[in-house]
């Protein structure tokens, strides 16, 4: 055990734990990437080991796949699963309409493919990820390594006509080298500050030569599970128009999740 959980860790943990309770025996489940999603994988691993939960998992990155296998989950590819009952993933930002910015972990291409190949997408997040307007978090755009500078110039030119507050773009780095995605591509982070029309921007960005996919998830998320540091969990369902509030207690054994970090 690694000591008492911090409020932000508690928020992530209770969101993940509540979402794990939505998973039923026999489901095919997409597993997201990132710190909050990693908590989910550990919760599911505990359910598999202790409760005999039988699920098939489709990870959205190599590191999520590694963690899932380590914890005893049955891992298959999306090609093998064909279609999923549910995808559970984190988000860097979400708004009132459950539109998202994702890709802080560099896996938004696989995450979007898996999420849209599912009957429903559930987002797990701490309350700090909720925003009135998307854009404070840099928007990731995955681009081909070939000609990435030309793609960057076209992106910056396109942003001039978009309803955004900032137009700076940067190549994501991994130390002294460009960050490389699981697909061998680069990521350009768009520092927009505020996105006035996320739907329009998502469509326009993907028309630029060299752009593979952007991190705007529009009309994809069905439910969001919002964790708070006091253990409170709010579940919003955009389709049903409902909001449920619950509170999860912390047990000593929950501290086994405390070694996870961003």
Which residues are tagged catalytic? 111
Question: Is 106 marked within a binding site?
Answer: no
Question: Is 87 marked within a binding site?
Answer: no
Q: Please give the Cα distance from 235 to 216 (Å, whole number).
A: 21
Beta strands in the chain (DSSP E): 28-31, 56-59, 74-75, 86-89, 93-94, 100-101, 121-126, 139-143, 168-171, 173-174, 177-178, 186-191, 211-214, 216-217, 223-227, 232-237, 242-247
Question: Is 90 marked within a binding site?
Answer: yes
Closest to 162 in 3D by CA, of 194, 207, 210: 194
Question: Is 229 marked within a binding site?
Answer: no
Question: Is 132 marked within a binding site?
Answer: no
Residue 64 DSSP SS3: helix
Question: Is 193 marked within a binding site?
Answer: no
Burial label, 16 (beta-carbon count in 10 A; 0-12, 13-18, 19+): buried
Q: Tell me which DSSP letter residue 239 carries.
A: T
Torsion over CA: 193, 196, 198, 203 (sign): negative
Question: Is 36 marked within a binding site?
Answer: yes
Closest to 16 in 3D by CA, of 28, 26, 8, 25: 8
Residue 119 DSSP SS3: coil
Q: Please give the Cα distance from 86 to 223 (Å, whole number).
A: 11
Torsion of CA 19, 2, 253, 58, to 10 degrees: 30
Q: Please give the Cα distance from 12 to 226 (Å, whole number).
A: 8
Question: Is 128 marked within a binding site?
Answer: no
Question: Is 6 marked within a binding site?
Answer: no
Annotated binding-site members = 33-36, 89-92, 102-105, 129
Annotated binding-site members for substrate = 33-36, 89-92, 102-105, 129
């Amino acid at each position: 055990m690694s000591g008492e959980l911090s409020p932000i860790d508690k928020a992530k943990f209770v969101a993940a734990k509540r979402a794990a309770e939505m998973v039923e025996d026999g489901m095919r489940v997409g597993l997201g990437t990132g710190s909050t999603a990693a908590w989910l994988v550990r919760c599911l691993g505990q359910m598999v080991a202790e409760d005999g939960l039988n699920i098939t998992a489709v990870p959205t990155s190599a590191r999520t796949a590694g963690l899932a296998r380590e914890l005893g989950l049955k891992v298959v590819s999306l090609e093998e699963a064909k279609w999923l009952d549910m995808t559970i993933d984190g988000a860097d930002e979400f708004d009132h309409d459950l539109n998202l910015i994702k890709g802080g972990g560099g896996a938004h291409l696989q995450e979007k493919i898996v999420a849209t190949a599912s009957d429903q997408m559930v987002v797990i997040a701490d309350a700090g990820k909720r925003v009135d307007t998307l854009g404070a978090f840099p928007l990731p755009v995955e681009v081909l390594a070939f000609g990435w500078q030309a793609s960057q110039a076209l992106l910056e030119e396109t942003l001039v006509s978009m309803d955004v507050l900032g137009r700076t773009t940067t190549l994501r780095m991994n130390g002294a080298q460009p960050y490389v995605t699981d697909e061998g591509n680069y990521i350009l982070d768009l520092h927009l500050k505020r996105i006035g029309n996320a739907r329009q921007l998502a469509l326009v960005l993907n028309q630029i030569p060299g752009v593979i996919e952007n991190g705007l998830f529009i009309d994809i998320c069905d439910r969001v599970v919002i964790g708070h540091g006091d253990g409170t969990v709010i579940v919003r369902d955009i389709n049903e128009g409902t909001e449920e509030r619950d509170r999860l207690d912390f047990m000593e054994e929950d501290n086994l999740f405390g070694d996870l970090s961003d």
